Structure 1
Amino acid sequence: MPAASGASSTSMNTRNSFSSSWVGSSPSRQSPVRQSPQRNGLRSSRGSLLSDSYESPTRKLQLEFTNILSHSDREFHKKLDQDAAERARLHEEQLARAAREHQRVMEEATREMERIKLEEENERLRKAAVQEKEIQRLKEQKMREQAEAQQRQLEAKLREEQAAREAAEKQRRLQEAAEKARAHKEQEEAAKREKEEDERRAREAAAVPPPPVAKPQPVQALPTPSAPAVAAPVPASAPLAPSAPSADIVEVHKKYLTLHRSMKEFRKQFLAAHKAPTDPLKSLIGDVRRNLNKRMGQITVDVADSKKTIKSIREECFDKAISAGGPMIDIRPYLISHQITNDADAQYPQLLLYLWVMFEKYLVKQWAHEAPKEDGRIITQLSLIAASLYLDTKYMCMGTVTMTDTLLAKLHRICPMLFGIRGNTTTNRAGLGLDKVHPNDDAEHNAYLQRMTGVGAGYAALTHRKFAQKPPAIPISEYWRAVVLICNTPAEALYPAHFMTLQGLLRDNVRKFLATYGVAAKAVLRRATFDLPNRVPEPRAGVKEERPGLHAAAGSVKTLPDVWHAKENINIR
């Protein structure tokens, strides 16, 4: 240690000083140890008496004084060593106390940090609890508001149903009064027709040409549901409509086929014009088409789900098509039942027209997909969605002209017998919508018949769909016309598709049809389910049918009265 080193150096300096003081002294003052070896040897040989004779009192004093100094020197250095050790001990104790103080400060700092973290965590949990409580309150408030809105809608619906029942009861009483007033007139007309029929048969038997008198007219379409005409029962031997449809029917059919071709050409040109990756409408066109196809496949019998689907179709597809802007098109070539003279009024968004084309494609596909099910409620929901969209003024041209002509063009193309078109499935397959069905492929033919059933059911549901203060998208008189046109088809022009379409038209809509037209509807139903199937010849054993599947299809229509009687307690016999 430094203190010990200092003590040692002091001792050495003391010794050196004493030694140097002896160098110049006389031989009598020098220590015996420092004498030369010869002297020491002489002293040894002479003995102790001779050495003592040279010792002097001064020498002894000097030796004693030297011993005293040495002892004092040792004591001094010993004390220095003890002081140094004490200082070292104190220094170590101070270091130990400093280490303990440092450890204490570190522990307190750690505890303070943990306390702060705990307070922060508690504050976070408190805020999360407050936020969760607020969210729960908002959810409960929203649920209460929804419940109140649903209650209001239910009350409004009940009021509407009550008003509808009262109006139906009033209409029924008026119809009964009108039927009673016309009963006598109907009997006279029936007797007159029987007389004319007897005269015609007599002339035919005598090979005499008939005179130019008015022919007995088949059942025709009613003008309006409010004043139905009562159809007289038509005997099985009554004259049938001619093999070829009327010129007016054919002319209208050709217009709709031309419109369908224009729609296909427009769709191709529209997609080609916006296929560039940099085109601003390219991604939107794909999005609305995919969303529309997805939503159309999500329709169920649940009314709440249907409302959500209608809302999604509006917001994700049709509203986007309107808000996106884009190029406009003259809509007049795509309208048949309406005329627009002003060029400015005829401007219509191209994207919205494209969306209508795709909507009708997906609608017919879903009708065909749901056709095999015994319950036609999903087809009804699909037609409800279609009617609500067609009747929405936002999607109309000028807010008044509906786009139902584009749907009718699609139906004229794939199901022409719905509009009275006849033909031969061998020579005029395209005219009957069979051009894409292989004549020898049973699977394709069955899929075609299933599609005809779905189209008939969807068309019927669309014509029967009514909304408050709005006319129907397609008048119910067109439903009457479609049933009657199929019933007036001659036996030689009947094919399985006629009966499958008729089955779709009648199966799930008999109650609404009777409620609208009363006795006249019952007469048409008897004509469709009794007289028409009976005109199909029975298949003969061992003879191949000229029109395969015709008898089976007619049988499916013939069983409908039994189904109505069993399920709905409706008797049309």
Structure 2
Amino acid sequence: MAGSSPHRPPSYHRASPSRSVLEEIIDDDRNSEARHKYLLEAAKREHDRIREDAERVYREQLQREEAQRLLAERRKEEERIKLEEQLAAERTRLNALRATKVAIPPPLPEPQQPAPPTPNGTTPAPKSANARAPTQTNGATSQPATKPPGVATPGLQVSKPSAQAPAAVPQKAAEPARPATSALGVGGLLSNVPQPNGDTSTAETSRSAAPPPAQPRPDRYSEIHKNLKNLRKFMAEQAKTNPILKERMGDMRRELRKSVGQLTVSSGVAGVNRVQQQTIVKLMREALSNQVQSQLMDPNEFLLTPRKNPVEGAAHNEPMLPSVFLYLINIFAKAAISQFINEAGARPETADPIGVCVAATLSEPDFLWRGGSMIDILLAKFRIVCPVLFGYRGSEKTEQGRQRLGWWKENGRWVTQQQHMDRMTGLGAGFAAISLRKFMAVKKENPYPPRHYWTAMARIVNTPSAEISDTQCVVLKSMVENYEQKFIEFYGTAALAALRMALVEFPARAPQKTAAVNSLDVLAQLLKRDAGLVLG
């Protein structure tokens, strides 16, 4: 169209509203009262419709939430009923077990060994049961030909290795001869044994070295344990008349137990237990100085082998030591044993820092008496709580057998099997943590050299097949697990042979393949997988 702009605004192109809408807008009645009423009613109807929809949606949401709440409560009640049913079933089984009584027959008398004929062909009269048996000579030391019931005779003498096979171990009268492969150390296994200082000792050099201490009587550990109980009573009597001792002794005991309880795994961090170690040593020094004026005592009452003569160069050669010092060592040993049982039973790796603390503390030169440590106090407690480390064995199905195995009682009742095995696990790991310590880089003397670890392992592995127990297997496993590398570092190829006997041959001889026995096989497989150590 002429005169029109070629670019009109977009609004010009919009469609016109419908006729009915226009009529309604321009209607003359649009402002009337009737029109307003009509529009108000329409708006009210729309408002009511929207409100009803909103109320309906709200009611549905409340119903859904109520349904979910009821469903959650129903599931909660079902779970409660399920747990109560399980608890009722367990209590029923427990009551049934408590009601079960097993008649334990009395032990059979020991069979008498027939006496050998005399040279003239006659048979001598039998000796009485109390007669002393003859001894067999093994090199420079003599061993009794008989042994107390329940005590295993080790098949080797670790402190005196020899190129020859060890002398035959006396057997019980009714015990069949064991094959040579079952004895740890048979066949010249210890003919060339690495010593803790890293040197290799042969039979000749071992004979030229200082002779080992005499073998203690089998019940000496029990005597020391009894003397320790008397020591506690003695300290209590002193405290009644010595107020300084009474006040300080309790504080020292609590501080020492707290420090031992705070020992933690280092996880590669150096000095993580330095404060606790320094606190323990400080308390020991304070007790040794006897500032509380405790009475003096003879330390020989707490030693396996008496030290009657002074030792040249020793820090303490006096015949008596302060009783509070001996008492504090007893508390220290008791705290370490408790940590092994309570902590290392569930986490065996926690035994290592405790073993480090024990070895470091008892090897302090100031704490030695006449050239030796007082670790026999700790060993006496170990002998009571874990006798299998010292050669004792027995049946877990009899009262006497459980006593010989160190099965604990609480409130007059035996603890459960799981509790017993946890205790043995912690104690086995703790024994290894103490006896497999390196002292080559320090000037201190090792209070418990690795040969005692070897001897304890030999006592277990040399058990006759019919007498192998789950307790021995659990202790043996915890002794080896996490410590096989240290054992090999001390004894080399001899340790590999010992591990093969302990983890392969020993469980293979067990009369029953229980979980404890199979755990030794499993450990051997784990060492093969993780460390490449092939023992089978």
Instruction: Find the aligned partners of 1:569 and 1:471 in 2 and give their Cα distance.
Output: 33
SS in 2 for 1:412: helix
SS in 2 for 1:497: helix
226, 233, 246: which one pairs with 1:268? Answer: 233
TM-score (norm 1): 0.53
Aligned partner of 2:284 in structure 1 is 318
429, 454, 458: which one pairs with 1:457? Answer: 429
Percent of pairs with identical residues: 28
Aligned partner of 1:60 in structure 2 is none
Instruction: Find the aligned partners of 2:323 and 2:181 in 1 and give their Cα distance.
Output: 48
463, 467, 471: which one pairs with 1:497? Answer: 471
Instruction: Find the aligned partners of 2:413 and 2:302 in 1 and give their Cα distance.
Output: 36
Q: How many residues align?
A: 331
1:308 Cα deviation from its structure 2 partner: 1.4
Aligned partner of 2:385 in structure 1 is 414
Cα distance change of structure 1 residues 344 and 571 upon mapping to structure 2, 3 Å threshold: closer
Instruction: Find the aligned partners of 1:569 and 1:369 in 2 and give their Cα distance.
Output: 32
CA contact (8 A) 1:384 1:462 kept: yes
Aligned partner of 1:384 in structure 2 is 356
Counterparts of 1:176-187 in structure 2, within 5 Å, are none
Cα distance change of structure 1 residues 298 and 445 upon mapping to structure 2, 3 Å threshold: same
Aligned partner of 1:294 in structure 2 is 258
Cα distance change of structure 1 residues 438 and 450 upon mapping to structure 2, 3 Å threshold: farther
1:361 Cα deviation from its structure 2 partner: 0.8
Instruction: Find the aligned partners of 1:416 and 1:337 in 2 and give their Cα distance.
Output: 19
SS in 1 for 2:321: strand
Aligned partner of 2:300 in structure 1 is 332
Spell out, residue by residue over 1:501-522, the C-alpha distance to the aligned partner (whole angstroms, 9 max, x if none). 1011100111111122122111
Letter in 2 for 1:289: R
Letter in 2 for 1:327: Q
Instruction: Find the aligned partners of 1:275 and 1:491 in 2 and give their Cα distance.
Output: 54
CA contact (8 A) 2:263 2:353 kept: yes
Letter in 1 for 2:463: T
CA contact (8 A) 1:332 1:346 kept: no
1:375 Cα deviation from its structure 2 partner: 5.8
CA contact (8 A) 1:255 1:336 kept: yes
Could you say which structure has the larger radius of gyration? 1
SS in 1 for 2:328: helix
1:345 Cα deviation from its structure 2 partner: 2.2
CA contact (8 A) 1:423 1:493 kept: yes
Considering fraction of residues, name the structure with more helix: 1
SS in 2 for 1:291: helix
Aligned partner of 1:516 in structure 2 is 490
Spell out, residue by residue over 1:474-496, the C-alpha distance to the aligned partner (whole angstroms, 9 max, x if none). 11111111111101111222222
Cα distance change of structure 1 residues 259 and 224 upon mapping to structure 2, 3 Å threshold: farther
Counterparts of 1:387-398 in structure 2, within 5 Å, are 387-398=359-370
CA contact (8 A) 2:288 2:321 kept: no
Instruction: Find the aligned partners of 2:338 and 2:330 in 1 and give their Cα distance.
Output: 13
Spell out, residue by residue over 1:517-573, the C-alpha distance to the aligned partner (whole angstroms, 9 max, x if none). 12211111111111111222346xxxxxxxxxxx11111122112222333333333
Aligned partner of 2:147 in structure 1 is none
Instruction: Find the aligned partners of 1:434 and 1:524 in 2 and give their Cα distance.
Output: 27
1:415 Cα deviation from its structure 2 partner: 1.1
Instruction: Find the aligned partners of 2:303 and 2:348 in 1 and give their Cα distance.
Output: 34
RMSD: 3.1
Aligned partner of 2:211 in structure 1 is none
Q: Which has the higher contact order (CA 8 A, sep 6+)?
A: 2
Aligned partner of 1:309 in structure 2 is 276
Letter in 2 for 1:369: N
CA contact (8 A) 1:253 1:412 kept: no
Cα distance change of structure 1 residues 511 and 557 upon mapping to structure 2, 3 Å threshold: same
Instruction: Find the aligned partners of 2:194 and 2:326 in 1 and give their Cα distance.
Output: 30
SS in 2 for 1:274: helix
314, 317, 328: which one pairs with 1:355? Answer: 328
CA contact (8 A) 2:227 2:302 kept: yes
Instruction: Find the aligned partners of 1:257 and 1:388 in 2 and give their Cα distance.
Output: 25
Aligned partner of 1:93 in structure 2 is none
1:434 Cα deviation from its structure 2 partner: 2.6
CA contact (8 A) 2:425 2:474 kept: yes
Letter in 2 for 1:218: A
Aligned partner of 2:531 in structure 1 is 568
Instruction: Find the aligned partners of 1:565 and 1:218 in 2 and give their Cα distance.
Output: 23
Counterparts of 1:95-134 in structure 2, within 5 Å, are none
Cα distance change of structure 1 residues 439 and 218 upon mapping to structure 2, 3 Å threshold: farther
Spell out, residue by residue over 1:77-110, the C-alpha distance to the aligned partner (whole angstroms, 9 max, x if none). xxxxxxxxxxxxxxxxxxxxxxxxxxxxxxxxxx
Counterparts of 1:120-269 in structure 2, within 5 Å, are 218-220=183-185, 222=190, 225=195, 226-227=199-200, 252-269=217-234
Q: Which runs of 5+ in 2 are unaligned?
A: 1-162, 166-175, 204-213, 311-315
CA contact (8 A) 2:183 2:461 kept: no
Instruction: Find the aligned partners of 2:494 and 2:321 in 1 and give their Cα distance.
Output: 41
SS in 2 for 1:281: helix
CA contact (8 A) 1:224 1:477 kept: no
